[in-house]
Every structure is written in structure tokens, then in C-alpha cells.
Structure 1
Amino acid sequence: MLENLKKLVSYYKPYKKVFMADMFFAIMASFIALLIPLVVRYVTAKVIYMPAEQVVKTMIIIAIVVGILILFQCYCNYYIANYGHVMGAKIEYDMRAEIFGHFQKLSFSFYDDEKVGQLMSRITSDLFDITELLHHGPENVTISVIKIIGALAILLSINVRLALIAFLLVPFMLVYAYFFNKKMKQAFRVNRIKIAEINAQIEDNLSGIRVVKSFANEDLENKKFKVGNDAFLEAKKNNYKYMGGYNSGLTAFTTMINLLVIVSGGLMITKDMISVTDLVTFLLYINIFTDPIKTLIDFTEQFQNGYSGYERFLQILSIEPEIKDSENAVSISNVKGDIKLEDVSFKYNDSSHRVLKHINLEVKAGSYVALVGSSGAGKTTLCNLIPRFYEATSGKITIDGKDIKDIKLKDLRDNIGIVQQDVYLFVGTVYDNIRYGRPDATREEVIAAAKEANAYNFIMSLPNGFETDIGQRGIKLSGGQKQRISIARVFLKNPPILIFDEATSALDNESEKIVQESMEKLAKNRTTMVIAHRLSTIRNAEKILVLTDKGIEEQGTHKELMDKHGIYYDLYNVIEK
């Protein structure tokens, strides 16, 4: 925990000047708050007994001095509320950037097991609680400690016996607060889990809203959401039950302390053990004393809430990317595109079943190779190993004779272009999505890439041409249009190695023909690996590999494989006829 707290404190470092000023103004505001009751005591004990003229002069001086102090206190509180909150927001900004950057480094295997909605809660609600702690925590503790020590010292100086009577209930107040805080901590932890679950459920539903509507399953989704929503409500009810007991109990203790002081003080006045002035001053300081006790107890709740969020934040940061640059990784340039797999096997972390077994494959630079096989044979997995989206369990993969583990990840992936069946387009314009292939490209290069991908004409027919907003995941475009934009993106990237992962399987015949033409144009003079669902699209491949759960069982040209009357022959006759 100590190491975690050290890291937490390190987030103040860029803003230490603001932090120190925040603490200074918090201390000044506390001292001024302690001073006001002393002024009341002075006026009621001394000033009212002065001659009338002197009273007026003294009260004018007091009014001016206290007025200046109040204005200064006002600025102190303004600084804390304004600049202190801005400091908190900047820390939140830094932490959000840190965790988002870390998300970008994590491997596919991490996202295979995580829900997007729950990850989103790590960079929204969790971070808000953390920064509230970082902003309000130190100043609340500082203000509270100064007020408690100051008020305690003043109360003891006024009347030791009455001060001790007032403190009789404080230990019980602390025990009561500790009990309810413990319960609230547990409730907050459950709340955080339920919030993450609801976020995940909402994200899942809204992402798949078109599927929901196509099956007319709105009622089913409402029922599913009701289960999560009910669980969240119960967690909230439990939280508020303890919060209600906490707040009402502490208010009752504060009132009881005041009552105890009034009764005891009244009896002591009758015995000339304390003056009315001192009792009034005493009552003013009791509130100054008890309020910061509540604030400190509230801080423990705030600390628990913020620190539990911080632990979840650190939990993500502690996850090391499974795939990262090795210490000796080097940059590569002028890649030809010779790919070789030597005795490559692979299985997912959660599976003892090997998806790929002892694959040996050589793809010469500039050649066009197709992968076919039944669903689940590992075609996509094999292609995902080449850009190191997953790491081969055993064996070796090389590009131009260089082990891909010894190549810098960015360089490796910069030299590989991938066109998938499930095209992902980002929110924004057509232009933005094509330019994603090479962010430093000029407009002329983007337009040229669109023309190469047979996308230019349909783009220009859109309402705003290249500046047309395509909606979430390109929902305003057809499947063929989205696919051509993704191909234009790869044209712009201009990599020496291409992977087409069933890029035309979801298209109608007309769209498939246009996209196929774009793909063939893109594949020219590049090392190309095609995962094919429709076998008619890869008849011209230089080599076709038939992948099964036993590995590569057949390879050859379309004619050679058809003449064999083997697995490919059977697949072709089932799929194409």
C-alpha cells in the first residue's frame, strides 16, 4: 500500500506550486474561522463595557479588520474551489491519458476477456473519485486538523472542566462513525462493481441495437437490463441505508454535545464557575470542533472510495502487454515480403486445445497465397500471428529471414496491411477514415487511394463527398462501400504484405465484383495472403493451402487440388455448387 500511495502522491509533482498555494490558503481560511469566535468573546467580555465613544471607535476598527479578514477568507475559499479543482481536473487528465495510453499497448488477448463498458468505467467514474480524493483530501485534512487542534486549545483555555465534559461523547462518536464507515466501504465497493456491470450492459445493447430491433427483442433487452438495474438499485439502497445512519447519527452526536455543554454550562454559571460570555464562546467553538471531526470521518469515506478506484486503476496499469518489443528489437525497411512459418503451433490461454499444430509454410515475396478450410480450422488465427496480434505458442515466424520477435512492433505492423470481413470505421468523415491508413498523407494522396480502391465515384455521390459524416461504425454506408473505404485505407498505407480475411464473404454479387477488382489491384506486386470463404474468388491464386485441425493437409493451384479429388475438391463442390 505504501508504494501505491507514493505513486498516488507523485501525480501532484507537476502542480506542486498550485498544491502548496492551495494548502496555504486552506490554512489561512482555517485560522480566520478560529478567530471569529474570539472576536465575539472580546466584544461581549470587553467592548460592551467601554465608554460609548470608545465602543464606536473599537467596533469600527473591529469591523474593518474582520471585514478585511473575511474578504481574504473569501479569496482563500475561491482559490481552493477554483484553482484547486482545476488542479484536480489536470491530475484526472494526466491519469486518463496514462490509462488510455496503456489500453493502446495491451494485446488482443486482454480484450478477448474484457467488457468495453467495464473498461470505460475505469477512465470515467473511477478517475473522478480518485481526483476528488487528490483535490479535497489534503485540504480537508489540513483544515480539519488545524480547526480541531485550535478549537481544542481555545476550549481548554476557556474552561478545562467544561471542555472535558464536551469531549465525553467524542469517543462514542468516533466508534459510531468507524462502524458505519466500514459498512459504507463495503457498499461502495459493491456499487462500483454494479456500475461497471451496467455500463457493460448498456454498451453491449447500444452497440447491437440493430440486431435487437431486427429480432424485435426490445422487451427481452428491457428484462435483461432490469436484472442489472435492480441489482444496482439494491446496492444503492444498501449504501444509502448506511449513509443515512452515518449522517443522522453524527448530527445527533453534535447536537447532544451542544446540549451537554448548554446544560453543564448553565449549572456552572449558577455556581460562578464560568461566565455567560465564555459559555457563548464555548458553544461557537463546539461547532468549529465537531464539524472538522465529521469532515475527517467523511475523508475516510472519501479515501476509501477514491482509493478503491485507484486500486482498480493500478490493476489495469499493472497488466503487462503480452506482446511487446524485445530488448534487442530492431527497425526494418525495404521489406520484400518473404514470409516463413517453421513448426508453428498456437493455442489460446483459456484452451488446452491447440488451434494450430506444427504449421510449416513459406510464402515468397510478391506471391499470392490463399488459405481455405472449414470454420475453426485456424485460418484467421494463422494470419493474426504474422503481425503478432497473438504470439505463437511454439515455432518461429520470419519476414525476409528476420524473426518477427526481433522486429519493432510498429515497424512490423507498418509493413502489413489487413482488410477484414468485419470492417471497422471510426466516427467521422470518409476522408478521416481513409487517412487513418497514413495520418500524414496529403489530400491528393487520400483521393488517389480512393480512386485505386474504386471508391472515388461513390464517395463523390455522397452529400458532402469526402467530408460526409458516416455515423457510428459507418452505419450510413453499405457493406461494399465500407469495404472499399477499408481497401482505400490500405492503399494509402501501401504495405509490402497484405492479408485479406474473408473480405468479400458478406457482400452481394455486384459489390463483391467491385471489391474483388479493388483487392486484385491492391495485391499486385505485394505478398498477399487471402482467407477465402467463396472459393471461386481465389481460383487464380498461385498457391492454395487447405488448413484443417491437423495442419496444412493440401497445397497447390486450383487445378492441381481439383485433380486430386481431396479435401479442397469436396469443399469446392459443397460451397460453389
Structure 2
Amino acid sequence: MSILDELHFGGRRLPVITASEAAECGLACIAMISRYHGHDVDLNGLRQRYALSLAGASLKSLMEITDKLGFSTRALRVELGALDKVRLPAIVHWDLNHFVVLKSVGRRKLVVHDPALGVRVFSPEEFSKHFTGVVLELARAETFEPVSARMPMKLSMLWSRMTGWWPALAQVLVLSVALQIVTFVAPLQMQLVVDEALASVDRDLLTVIALGFGALVVIQAAIEALRSWALRVFGHLLSFQISGNLVRHLLRLPSDYFEKRHAGDIISRLGSTKPIQDAITQGVVGTVIDGIMACVAAVILFFYSTTLAMIVIAAVLINMALNLALFPRMKQRMEEEILAEAKEQTHLMESVRAATTLKLLGREAVRESGWRNLHADSTNASIAVGKLTISQSLIQSIVTGLQTVIVIYVAGRLILDGQGFSVGMLFSFLSYRQTFTDRANALVNQLMQFRFLRLHLDRLADIVTTPTELSGASSEPAEVRGHVRLKDVSFRYGATDPLVLEDINLEISPGDYVAIHGASGGGKSTLLKLLLGLNQPSDGMIELDGQRATAERWRAWREKVGVVAQDDRLLSGTLADNIGGFDPDLDMQRVVAAAVAAQVHNDIVRMPMQYLTLVGDMGSTLSGGQRQRVLLARALYRQPKILILDEGTANLDEQNEELIADLIDQMPITRIVVAHRPALLRRAKRVYEVGGRRLKEVQYGSGHSPLAAAVAAP
């Protein structure tokens, strides 16, 4: 490593990279510093290489990841006054639960790149309130080699499956060109009236000019109406297909994608399709038309007067330079606005979902105060964007106004000096000048908007570049018998996290009844997620019906599995819809049969609307036990070959639990249950205990385990 490189004379820039997941601030910090030192990486690429769990990253985890990226690291405990001695940029531990990048240290201010909030500037006193004293220095190791791990999103990725939009776009372009041709002819009216009709006192010519241009106005209005309609049709077609492609991809992402993100943030990302849609429907067409019109108008201006044309073009170039100078600050403020709005939306959604909990805790005022603070942050961010927008408009107005004054002055001198420039030509020139200025400024503004699209594309990239769970699945169905085998399977949630399960060997044959027991947090639900393909093993292999578990086999497996999970939800609809899993060909006989088997039919028929009773994810009139039995009925409706219950009877009374346990015991299918209570455990043919990352079989009645006493209880 050269001395120049050490002294940072290479003009490197520290980017701002915001975190998408709730616990990936450390990874975002690594991405920023990696880009600064020459790695071509982004957050999506690092996430694919070094996945983190919901617990986030520890300082040790960050050191392990940066070591793999070719950095030498040094963890330090530093006093505030000694921060100017630290090699920058460095990762700083923040608020005891967060990581940020310290960019620069001055006597009066410290600049921080926060993965949650963007660029922040602190006084030493403010900084000390957040700083925990822990700093991680990073420097290029001798083995450092730049790597490429970027997964950028291209605009074309949004319309990969779109159809029928080329004809709609062609219509818009043709009508736009026709409209602009009419617009270019209109300024000639004033020149013809002043230089021809008035100069020759020809009333008939004046009448002809008026009638001709009057007809032109009607034609222009008709073309404008047709263009507006074509543009609206094109916009709706584009919106429908882009949003459809995005939601289709989103719903097929792995379950851990949703577990690591806030719902409000995901919804906010989907909202980024609107600016992109507007840019394509109006921006692309507008840019093409504005570019053509500006060029044609410029040629016409030079035809009238080279001197005046140069004045007009110089003003447009000045305006363009000022816009480019404001762009970095505008981009930063817009990103802060988007992030602030996402945080506010997430907080509000959580508050609505937890309304009952907040009432029970008596914390409505506290939650309201938290929302008000976030709303204030969002409002302030919007005001900051507004200030820059106003400044931009002010500068543009001043430049354009001065341009008009200078043009009229110079044109007046040309007329007075008798240099072949008439009053009618002045009126026409001013019209074409206005057209050129408007088109050129619109073109500059639109090009700047296209650059701002990178903000929205980067937000959508978190969705689009994440591989779908069954991206390699084929359309050929695989036969499912209900046989599953785990061979030396280990699992960890993050690349640097400790193992949750280790060397698990388990074989379940068709028709087996297996129960899994263990302490809370021991890995039982994780094991079930492995058996459902929701999590993939870190090591080892899973076989389904004697074949290695592939995407298509997991798809076929889930088609034949009935599941009641701990976090299952009812969806908005009727009880019949929910029990039938919103089957398009709902079979009411099967719905009733499943409800009878789940011991919930009698409860349903006592309701006024019976099976048409409306329920939803936010709540209903169902009790906890009724809701769990409805979920069990939903699993049974599928007529599964494998039934998996994760504490599927935990909310039931003893009588109903015994009835359902008898039903499950008599079913001639593969059954896998996680349970703590004896009703299910004592009926299982094999019982396993999960603990200490291991899985071991427990013999019923052996008396060597607390489980034996539990299942033997009357």
C-alpha cells in the first residue's frame, strides 16, 4: 500500500448507504467504507454474501466480515477528545444498539454517515450523547484486492414481462410530435399580422390570418385531448404491469425477508413505483419531445439572429450549471425525506396493529408522542426539500427574467440601428425564445429527475434483486408420499451467528407420528421451518421422498402439507374463505367437514352469519381457542399427506384438545407436532427432544427425562 493511498490523496468519496433491514446497520457501514477503499460493492451484494440474522451484527461479526473483504481491523476504546487520532472513515458504536460511520472530526463539528438517517452533523457535545467509546478502524491489508459484489437494479428489470406497451407509447409520441408542429406554427401569427396585414393595411389578409389560426387552435386542442387520453392509457397500462411484476416477485420472496424488515418500510418501497411510472410515461416522452423541440427552436432562433440566440442559449447553460451544483444536496435531502416518511409509516402501522396492547398498557400518549416526533422529522425533511426546490425555481426565474430583459434590449438596438430586424420578427423571436427556454429548462429538470430515480431504484432493488424462494422451480409436479430425511443438518441464521441446530439426523417415514419437545428457544420452530423449506440448511442435506430437496420438490411438498404455525394469521374474508384457504373453487362440503374435524363447527353455526362471518388479520369475534381451531380446519381442508403443528392445540381447553389429539392419532398420514402438553405427546409413536443444538429421541416412559414425567401425567 502506497503512502499516497494511506494519506487518501486519491480523491475518494465516502458514499451514503442506508440500511433496508432492521438489523443491518453494521453491514451498511461496511458497504460504505468498502466503497471508499475501492471495492465495487453495494448492500444487496454484501447481504447475499454475508447474511445477518434479526439479532444484527456484533463487533466481532463486523471484524470477521471485513477480514474476508481484505481489511485489517483494530477495535479501540477511544475518548471523545482523541477521535482526531483515529484513522477515518471508521465504524463507531452508537446508542448502545447501532453502528454508524464517522467521516470527519473537526473542532466544532463531527460528520457521521448514519445507515438509518443519512448524513448527520454533530457538535462535540451532541456527539458524546450517542458515542459509546468503541471504534473499529479499517485499513487495507497487504492482501487487499478490489472485489465486485454489486447487484444494481436496472430500469428494464421492472418491465421484463410487460406486453402491449410499445403501441401505446408510439401513439403518445406521434400525437406529441403533431402537437409540437402546431405549436411551432402559432408564433407566426403575430409576425404575419404586424409585418404583413398591419403594414399593408390589408383587412382581408387580417381576416384570413385570424380564421386560419383560429382553426389551428381547434386542431391543437383536439390533438392535446387525444394525447392526454393516450398518455393516461399508457400510464395505467405501465402502472398495472410494473406493480403486478413487483408484487408477484415480493410475494415469492423467502419468509426471512419479511422477518428482517418493517412492514411500513416494505410498503414505502412499493410506493417508489409511482415516481418511476411518472418518469417513464411523462418523462421519457417529454424528454424526447423537449429535446427535439429545443433543437428545432434553437435553429430557428439562429435564423432570426445569431447574437440574440447566443444570449438565450447562454442563459439556459447558466441555469443548467446551477441545477447541477444543487443536485448533490437535493439528492441527499430527498433520500432523508423518503427514509423519514418510511419510519413514520412503519410506526403508525405498528401502533394500529397494537392498539389493544397500547390500551392495556395505558401507553397511548407515549406512542402518540413517538409518532409526533417522527412526523415532525418527516415534515422537516419535506421542508428541507421544499427550500431547495424554491431556491432552484428562484434562480431559474431570475436567470430567465434577465435573459428576457437583455434580449429585448439588444433586439431594440438592432431595430433602431436598421440591421434588418423588424418589430414583427421581434414578436416571433420572443415566442420562439419562450419555446426554447421552456423546453430546454424542462429538459434539464427532467434529466435531473432521471438522476433522482436512482434513489427509488435503489429502494426497489432491495425487493427486485432478492432471489425468490422457489426461483428454480419447474412446472413438473413431483410425487409426494410424506417421507423426509435430514442428514447431518446444521443451521445458523446469519453467516457469523452461532449454530442454532447442529448435526441433526432425523428420518420420518410416510404415516409416522412424531412429536418434538424442548425448552422455549431451543430450536423447535426452526426445525419445523427446515422441514417446510422456509429455512435452508447451513450444512448437511434434506431429502424428500428419497430425493434431494430441490425447489420443485419443496413446491410439491407444500402443496400436500397442512400446517398450523405459531404466527399463523387469518386473512380478511369470511370464515369459509379462511378455512378453504381462499380456494377459487371452494368446496363447502369440505369446509364443513374440516370444521367438524377441528371441533369448531358447532361454534360457527351458533354465529348469526355462520360460515359467512367476516374475520380479518386485525381481529374478530373469535376467541383464541376458536381461532386456533379455524386454523386447524384450514390445514385439514387441504386433505394433506403431511400434517405439521407448532403448538397447534396450545390455546384449547382440555376436552377439545383430547378430541383433536384423538383425531390426529387416527389420521393415516405423516404427522409432525411440536408440543409441551401431554395430549399430543403421549399419542406420538416417537418423541424427540431438542436442546443444546441437538436432537435426541426419548423413549416414552423411560423415566430418564423431564419429558417422561410430563407425558405420563394423567
Task: Verify same fold: TM over 0.5.
Answer: yes
1:496 to 595, 618, 641: 641
Which of 75, 95, 106 is the equivalent residue of 2:242?
95
Q: Give 1:461's aligned residue.
A: 606
C-alpha separation in 2, matches of 1:278 and 1:496? 86
**CA offset at residue 169 of structure 1?**
2.7
What's 2:290 paired with?
144
**Shift in Å at residue 468 of structure 1?**
1.6
Counterpart of 1:213 in structure 2 is: 359
The amino acid of 1:120's aligned partner reads: I
Is 1:443 the equivalent of 2:593? Answer: no
1:175 corresponds to which of 321, 337, 352: 321
Change (3 A) 1:136 1:324: closer
Q: Distance in 1 between matches of 2:153 and 2:711?
A: 62
Q: Which of the residues 212, 215, 225 maps onto 1:68?
A: 215
Name the structure 1 match of 2:106. Answer: none
Range that drifts further, 425-434 or 99-108: 99-108
**1:173-322 mapped onto 2 (5 Å cutoff):** 173-273=319-419, 274-321=421-468
Q: Is the 2:600–2:629 Cα contact (8 Å) retained in structure 1?
A: yes
* Counterpart Cα distance in 1 of 2:174 and 2:320: 28
Q: Kindly state the Cα deviation for residue 492 of structure 1 after the two structures are TM-superposed.
A: 1.1
User: Which of 309, 312, 320 is the aligned partner of 1:163?
Assistant: 309
Q: CA deviation at 1:160?
A: 2.5
- Aligned twin of 2:553: 408
Map Cα deviations across residues 369-392 of structure 1 (whole Å, 9 max, x no partner). 211111111111111111211112
1:346 and 1:354 in contact (8 A); partners too? yes
Residue 568 of structure 1 aligns with an amino acid whose one-letter code is: L
TM-score normalised by L of structure 1: 0.90
Residue 686 (structure 2) aligned to one of 543, 551, 575: 543
Amino acid at match of 1:357: E
Task: Give, in whole Å, the separation in 1 of the partners of 2:642 and 2:671.
Answer: 6
Cα drift, residue 356 of structure 1: 1.2
Aligned to 1:417: 562
Equivalent pair of 2:470/2:551 in contact (CA under 8 Å): no
How far 1:405 sits from its partner (Å)?
3.0
Question: Corresponding residue for 1:568?
Answer: 707
Distance in 2 (CA, whole Å) between partners of 1:122 and 1:78 is 33
Give the CA deviation at 1:200.
Answer: 2.2
**Shift in Å, 1:325:** 4.2
What residue is the counterpart of 1:134 in the other structure? 280
**How many angstroms apart in 2 are the aligned matches of 1:16 and 1:421?**
48
Whose strand proportion is higher, 1 or 2? 2
Aligned to 1:366: 511
Give the Cα separation in 1 of the matches to 2:349 and 2:603. Answer: 32
Separation (CA, whole Å) in 1 of partners of 2:206 and 2:158: 49
Between the aligned partners of 1:16 and 1:400, the Cα distance in structure 2 is 47
2-structure distance, mates of 1:12, 1:144: 26
Which residue of structure 2 lines up, in the alignment, with residue 14 of structure 1? 164
Q: How many residues align?
A: 562
Distance 2:220 2:658 in 1: 73
**Does the 8 Å contact 1:151/1:286 carry over to 2?**
yes
CA distance in 2, matches of 1:150, 1:258: 20
Match of 2:230 in 1: 83
**Is 2:532 aligned against 1:387?**
yes
| Deviation, structure 1 residue 177 | 2.2
Q: How far did residue 260 of structure 1 move?
A: 0.9
Partner SS, residue 421 of structure 1: coil
Query: Which of 12, 17, 42 lines up with 2:192 in the alignment?
Result: 42
1:12–1:176 distance in 2 versus 1, CA, 3 Å: farther
**What letter matches 1:99 in structure 2?**
L
Q: Does structure 1 residue 514 correspond to structure 2 residue 656?
A: yes
- Inter-CA distance 391–323: structure 2 relative to 1 (3 Å threshold): farther
What percentage of aligned pairs have identical amino acids?
A: 24
DSSP 3-state at the match of 1:237: helix
Query: Would you say the 8 A contact 2:158–2:246 is kept in 1?
Result: no
Q: Which residue of 1 aligns with 2:129?
A: none
Distance verdict in 2 for CA 1:399–1:2, change over 3 Å: closer
User: Which secondary structure does the structure 2 equivalent of 1:354 belong to?
Assistant: coil
Asked whether 1:430 is paired with 2:575, we answer yes
Alpha-carbon distance, 1:403 to partner: 3.0
Distance 1:398 1:127, change over 3 A: same
Give 1:75 shift: 2.5
Q: Gaps (5+ residues) in structure 1?
A: none
Matches of 2:317 and 2:638, distance apart in 1: 70
* One-letter amino acid of the counterpart of residue 100, structure 1: V
SS at match of 1:412: helix
8 A contact 1:158–1:282 mirrored in 2: yes
Aligned Cα root-mean-square deviation (Å): 2.7
8 Å contact 1:554–1:567 — kept in the other structure? no
Contact preservation (8 Å) 2:195, 2:423: no
* Counterpart Cα distance in 2 of 1:143 and 1:407: 48
Q: In the TM superposition, what is the alpha-carbon distance from 1:537 to its structure 2 partner? A: 4.3
* 3-state secondary structure, aligned to 2:178: helix
Query: d(CA) in 1 for partners of 2:301 and 2:570?
Result: 68
Give the whole-Å Cα distance in 2 for the aligned partners of 1:75 and 1:226.
49
CA offsets per residue over residues 48-84 of structure 1, 9 Å max, x none?
23455xx23x334333332332222222222332221
Larger radius of gyration: 1
SS of residue matched to 1:530:
strand
Q: Distance in 2 between matches of 1:522 and 1:60?
A: 94
Please report how far the alpha carbon of residue 14 of structure 1 lies from its aligned counterpart in structure 2 after TM superposition. 2.3
Letter in 2 for 1:121: S
Aligned letter for 2:633? A
- Counterpart CA distance in 2 for 1:146 and 1:399 is 62
**Cα distance, 1:103 vs structure 2:** 1.4
Q: 1:25 aligns with which of 175, 178, 189?
A: 175
Measure, in 2, the Cα distance between the counterparts of 1:415 and 1:35.
69
> C-alpha deviations, 1:320-346, integer Å up to 9, x for none?
13565468x96333x442333332221
Q: Tell me the residue number matched to 1:117.
A: 264
Q: Which amino acid aligns with 1:127?
A: T
Distance 2:510 2:153 in 1: 51
Cα 1:8/1:556, change in 2 over 3 Å: closer
SS at match of 2:515: strand
SS class of match (1:105)? coil
Which residue matches 1:481?
A: 626
* Compared CA separation, residues 2 and 232, structure 1 to 2 (3 A): closer
Unmatched 5+ residue regions in structure 2? 1-150
CA deviation digits over 1:195-244, x for unaligned, max 9? 22222222222222222222111122123223322322222122111100
**Equivalent-residue separation in structure 1 for 2:162 and 2:227 (angstroms):** 15
Query: How far did residue 127 of structure 1 move?
Result: 0.4
Q: 1:32 to 1:378 in 2, by over 3 A?
A: same
